[in-house]
Each structure stands twice: as structure tokens, then as C-alpha cells.
Copies of this chain bind each other. A is one copy, B any other.
Amino acid sequence: MLKAPDHQVAGHQARDGSLGPLVDGSGHFYKPLQNLDRGSKELAFYTSFNSMNGIPPRIRRFFPSFHGSETFQASDGSGLLPHLVLEDLVFGRKNPSIMDVKIGSRTWYPGVSDDYIQKCFTKDMKTTSMSLGFRLSGLQVYGSEESGYWKPSKKAVQSFTVEDVRLALRKFVSSDVGWASDKDTLPDCSLATRIYGGPSGVLAQLIELKEWFEDQTIFHFNSCSVLVLYEKESALRGKTHGAAVKLVDFAHVLDGNGIIDHNFLGGLCSLIKFISGIVAEANKALHGLESSADGLELH
């Protein structure tokens, strides 16, 4: 009954005998505990977070729900392995468009080995992490029934420049898929005001999350990702599009010790600025100059 997820855009994949997460087709996502102590750290985070009082519901909704751990045969056939039992975030979604955005200009943190620092540091410099405060770890953008998904390879995403990231954030909310195959076709951003903008859109959710990060000193979310999801077909038909922001990957979470996570917060603000820029531009295009302030409303 367990199988590799259909819509995974980043991380290890349970295909061709490799170790990766599995889904049960009824709303659960099973994530194998990673080697070293990362898996147990992530389990400890979910356990602690789950039992914590004082996390308001408006913040708790950003986290996948957690249902403990279960031990069973791992996807690579290597034997019994404990798995985190999490909410399958794409369950029930038809043709979801998904972005995995790793937040923070620095993905390492004090206390880890010099080798690990060096590895992370090199990758932060090579990707847009250092310059933008975030990088894309993976994405899939649904086009249409004919064109299917635009899903650049892991290698392609890893070599994204700042301009590539800017473009990908536009493509994510564009109806036209000509841009997937033709470099000269610019994304139309026709869904920007509805998916990114609006009172329950991505931008509003990111700002809610940001306000929490300005205040919370419980956790430092090192090397953690923001997942952005929505359903394009529903959006185009004017139906509920399920635009959602979720936090995932907690293998490197540390205690905040009374200090805010300024590394995550800075990167999150940078992502917010990019997305609010796209919304402002789309509003301007839709309504003309006189209402251009609308897009900036959420600044």
C-alpha cells in the first residue's frame, strides 16, 4: 500500500531501490529517520513542538501534523527503519504546483563539524542562499492537461541564479506554459494577485509567519524549507485553489535560547519582498497605475 510520493520536488526519493519517504494514499507521509542523528533530531523536534502549549493555531497550521513514528521495512529494502508519520501535504490536491524554498543565507550553524560547515558554506555561496537569503531546492509548476508539469531537474534548480529564481517565482503563478519550452515567452503572472496576493494568499501567510519569527525565540530553524503549494486548475476556474505555506525539514532545528532566528527571518523577508514585488506589478498591470498601492498593502 505504501508507495513513493507522486509530487516530491526535493530531498531523497524512494525510487529505484533508494531510501526515501513513502505515502499511504490516505493522507500520511512516512519519512525515514535519516542517518547520523538527524532523524532523531527531527523526531525530537516534532515531539516537542506537538506537545508545546502557547503555539497559536494560526502558526501551528504552517507545520505538517505529526502522528508519531512507526517502524517498518525501508524503501531501499535495507531492513526495518523508524519513520516519522506526518501529514501528506499534497493529499487530495489535484495537479499541485509546489515550490520548496530553503530559507536562510547560512544553512550551517555553530557546533557542527568543520567539514559540514565547509560543505554548506560552499553550497550557500554557489547557490542563491548567500545573496538572496534563500534558494529554491525544487519545484514543479503545473501547466495544463496537455503540457503537464514544468519540473526542472535537481541539478538545474541548484544552478539557478538570482534572475532564474525571480523568473521561477513568476512562472509559478502564470497560466501560460509557453515559457516552459520557449525561452522567449515570458510568464504572464495571471494568477499572481489570486495565489500570492489576497487576504488568504501566499504573501499574507508568509507575513503571518514572519511576524511570529520576529517574536519567537524558542527554535532556530536551520536549513529548513518553506513549501508553497496551490492548485492551478481550480484557480483558473475561480474555485478554491488551496494556496498554502508550510514549513518542512526539521533535522537541524536548535533551541533558540532567547534569541530570534535572525538567519531565517532575514531570508523570509527577502522572499516576501520578491513575492510582494510580483503582486504589486500584477496589480499594476491589471488595474493601471492608480491602484498600484494595493500590491504594496501587505508590506
Contacts and interface: CB of A to CB of B under 8 A. Distances in A.
Interface of A: 105-106, 110, 125, 130-133, 162, 211, 214-215, 217, 257, 259-260, 262-263, 265-267, 269-270, 272-273, 299
A217 B105 CA distance: 16
A116 to B, nearest CB: 15
A269 B273 contact: no
Contact of A263 (B211, B257, B260, B266): B266
Contacts of A133: 259-260, 262-263
A269 B259 CA distance: 10
B260 A269 contact: yes
Among A215, A217, A259, residue most surrounded by chain B Cβ atoms (within 10 Å): A259
A273 B211 CA distance: 12
B299 A215 contact: yes
B105 A130 contact: no
A198 B211 CA distance: 21
12 contacts: A105-B106, A132-B259, A132-B262, A133-B260, A211-B299, A214-B269, A214-B273, A215-B273, A260-B269, A260-B273, A262-B267, A263-B266
A265 B260 contact: no
A125 B106 CA distance: 13
B263 A269 contact: no
B270 A259 contact: yes
Nearest to A133: B262
